[in-house]
Structure 1
């Protein structure tokens, strides 16, 4: 017999909304950490130092934080998917 599929209730065969929410909340928090880390840099770059070299540097630093965050989130999703497939 094949192992049960993630996010599917084995008893009814329907989507398990509780499991989806339990997986989505930590993922949203992880994304929020990186967005909150880059938001002040963008705010200063766009509202405080619009046409200066400092604004460019701050915008690039914000982009770097978001790029690192995207990589971390992707690694989390892959690791969590592997763990769920093994359960």
Structure 2
């Protein structure tokens, strides 16, 4: 009876630890997905890149008439700076 009780207790403890680890993994995965650049693009944002591939971080980095690439969730397209 004592060994059976210890075995049962061990199984419950292991089950609890596995459930907790699964929950933590699920939450970590959700955070990684939410913070990914792809998730940001799916929310409607775009990433602008210059011809050399550098990301545009502010208006002072571009000049009128410059061609840029806009990356969005479903692909990319060309844009031209008008002013």
Q: TM-score range by the shorter chain?
A: 0.3 to 0.5
Higher strand fraction (1 or 2): 2
Higher relative contact order (CA 8 A, sep 6+): 1
Which protein is bigger by CA-based radius of gyration? Answer: 2
Q: TM-score, normalised by structure 1?
A: 0.40
Q: TM-score, normalised by structure 2?
A: 0.42
Higher helix fraction (1 or 2): 1
